[in-house]
Structure 1
């Protein structure tokens, strides 16, 4: 159980850092973020919306309980990353830029998988304590 929690928090901490670092420039509509959005063909007014959505996803993943909200947060991060990767491919960005997306997918998957392992082992240990 302890190993599972440690691995969960490593993946989740890195995922939160990745999404958190990405959300701040979006919320503030920093010129580099606006330029990237223009390069991808999106209107800059979407930037603050996506930034706030990322922050809400971070909160949903970090706050204990609310399993359905956590599922939606993981799905939202996956949709965000998939949309960004598809957009990058569509505008002809080089394959070397995909590394960021692959790392993001690994962090989302690791956090998600270990969240469920942690939850399942906690419910099993809780069930065992009730039966004794």
Structure 2
């Protein structure tokens, strides 16, 4: 039980911290504007995605109902899959394409362990 709880909190924290950092980067770093342009996305999408990532990061670490957490998990899963597709379609190297897949695996472990833990988490 203790290992399960540690696995849940470690994977969830990594995902939440990475989403928070990427949201910050989307809003403050000019390189991210260029990256979104490279992928063919408009500038406003970068801002919308940053806000969604911040909200999702808060939702997956706070003790809310499982239905709300499921929406955040689903949103992140869609984001990671879409990022992989966008980077692949734009011809980015494998080193860039693999990161969304790594975070999708971490998210999956977090989701799996969330449902294996007693509901008092």
TM-score using structure 1 length? 0.84
TM-superposed CA distance for 1:47, in Å, is: 1.2
Moved over 3 A (4+): none
**Correspondence for 1:17:** 17
**Correspondence for 1:106:** 105
Partners in 2 of 1:106 and 1:13 — Cα distance? 14
**Correspondence for 1:94:** 93
Unmatched tracts of structure 2, length 5 or more: none
Partners in 1 of 2:85 and 2:15 — Cα distance? 20
Partners in 2 of 1:21 and 1:107 — Cα distance? 16
Contact 1:23 1:51 (C-alpha < 8 Å) held by counterparts: yes
Which entry has the higher C-alpha Rg, 1 or 2?
A: 1
TM-score using structure 2 length? 0.92
Contact 1:29 1:44 (C-alpha < 8 Å) held by counterparts: no
Deviations 1:82-129 (A, max 9, x none): 1111111111112232221221111111110011111xxx25x9xxxx
**Correspondence for 1:68:** 67
Superposition CA RMSD, Å = 1.5
Unmatched tracts of structure 1, length 5 or more: 126-132
Contact 2:84 2:101 (C-alpha < 8 Å) held by counterparts: no
2:92 is aligned with 1:85: no
TM-superposed CA distance for 1:29, in Å, is: 4.8
